Amino acid sequence: MKIGNFDLTGMKTLIIAELSANHGHSLDIAKQTIKAAKKAGADAIKLQTYTADTLTLNCDKEDFVVKGGTLWDNKTYYELYKEAYTPWEWHKELFEVAKEEGLLCFSTPFDKSAVDFLETLNPPAYKVASFEVTDYELVRYIASKQKPIIISTGIATLQEIEDVVALCKKEGNNDIVLLQCTSSYPAPLESANLLTIPDLSKRFGVIAGFSDHTLGITAPIAAVALGAKVIEKHFILDRAIGGADASFSLDEEAFTQMVQAVREAEKLLGKPTYNTNEKTIKGRQFSRSLYVAKDITKGDIFSEENIRSVRPGYGLHPKYLNEILGKCAKRDLSFGDRLNIEDAE
């Protein structure tokens, strides 16, 4: 499965820098952020495509006021999304900047009109936000565009995940990535449940990854060790910009550290192998092998007194010890000689 020219079945993890609301309503900051994401080592930049009016109602009744101990309590949904949205008229230019930087660029559409708009920009993939997983018709519509679809599972039940995967496949779209995600901002480490990543892959037969809202860079590294092929993390040029997502976003320095750590984790993972390499072979000098521990004359009986399993490992493998014991020496052997299987009769 590929997103653009990025092969998700290879050894490398797709690292997505999430721009989200981290632009302070400045197109220049948005463009600088994309360039900084490239410098930090990201493979892709992701936008969000909505307006306050496509997401909610401009209503201040109690139901429409954010509550529950979030970062955004006491704002209306409309106020929050009006503050956080990325103007649609920026998208074309942002896509172009990303392309110039060699980054994949795609977005999360929040309604059908956003999908239709994004189609004019020919994105290489689509992202479904965790809060939109329950909007089955939106998921179906996105899947119908026959582009890879990345789905965050944050608030979804197992049944809902099963439903949307089935919806995508019914549309003939099997290029599905499921991201383990904790829809808490920021997310406590103990709620990350990263073992869900390999379970998603096994249970649904799809590529799995991690959309991270924890603080710091530890969680993405652990996620890659558990098989995540996609990492998504909020990215900001400078937290001083502020905004809805600033407090749980990484700046360029921290994002760079995360990318470097993820790339090191990929090297550490390697592949299942039991073959010895040059370094392993050299290391075997510190293993044991059979050596002559006392001068031996031709015809002498090999015993635990005159041959021993000792370091280094240049002599006969210790597994032959019992086979050698009790046999006669075919030639004279000196203290410290390597023992060979041909020395016994």
Domain residue spans of the chain: 2-50+85-269, 278-343
Pick the closest to residue 108 from 248, 228, 211, 193 (CA basis): 211
> Comparing 2-50+85-269 with 278-343, is the CATH topology the same?
no
pLDDT (tens place) for every residue of the chain, 345 residues total:
999 999 999 999 999 999 988 999 999 999 999 999 999 999 999 999 999 999 999 999 999 999 988 778 999 999 999 988 999 999 999 999 999 999 999 999 999 999 999 999 999 999 999 999 999 999 999 999 999 999 999 889 999 999 999 999 999 999 999 999 988 888 899 999 999 999 999 999 999 999 999 999 999 999 999 999 999 999 999 988 887 788 889 999 999 999 999 999 999 998 888 877 777 677 788 999 999 999 999 999 999 999 999 999 999 999 999 999 999 999 999 999 999 999 999
Model-level pTM? 0.86
The rounded Cα 133 to chain-centroid distance in angstroms is: 21
Distance CA 311, CA 327 (A): 23
Distance CA 193, CA 208 (A): 14
- Interaxial angle between packed helices 158-170 and 136-143, expressed in degrees from 0 to 180 and rounded to the nearest 10: 40
Pick the CATH number of 278-343 from 3.90.1210.10, 3.50.50.60, 3.30.420.40, 3.40.50.1370: 3.90.1210.10
Q: Which tokens is 65 given?
A: 């006021």
Residue 243, sorted as left (phi over 0), alpha (psi -120 to 50) or beta, turns out to be left
The rounded Cα 196 to chain-centroid distance in angstroms is: 13
Q: Does domain 2-50+85-269 have CATH number 3.30.1490.20?
A: no
Q: Which tokens is 111 given?
A: 């309604």
